[in-house]
Amino acid sequence: MDGAQKKFEAAGANIVLIGQSTPRHAARFRSRQGIGLTVLADEERESYKAAGAKIATMSELIGPRVAAKGLLTSLKTGRAQTRTIGHPAQLGGAMVIAPDGTVVWSHMSDDAGDNAPPEEILEAVRSAAS
């Protein structure tokens, strides 16, 4: 997502990551990953609950398809999963939220390898802006 930041900004969007951590952990994650995005901390996972993000089953975390996708993503991006902070089975998602707070697009992960492609999110941003 960090690599697509300029495209999102050109479309009028601000990217904000929300992690299930403390502010200190969020700052360390941002620094360690070398990303220039805003990272917020939600230790109680209230935003995850409000968004409808689910808690994964064991197969949704480490099933063969999920493991293979994770390995391919790591090889492609050069980034790997680091130590888990917070609930280890908490899945995330992506949302496009209008300035008035309306959710105009949402993708909640079905398993640990189910992430919306940045291009799909960017298209939702562009559609919302028009």
pLDDT in tens, 12-63: 999 999 999 999 999 998 898 888 889 999 999 999 999 999 999 999 999 9
- Find tokens 């391919």 and name the residue: 72
pLDDT digits (tens, 9 = 90+) for 55-101: 999 999 999 988 888 888 888 878 777 778 889 999 999 999 998 99
128 pairs with which residues across the strands?
none
Q: What is the pTM of this model?
A: 0.82
Kindly give, in sequence order, each residue whose CB lies less than 8 Å from that of residue 73, ignoring residues fewer than 6 positions away. 79, 113
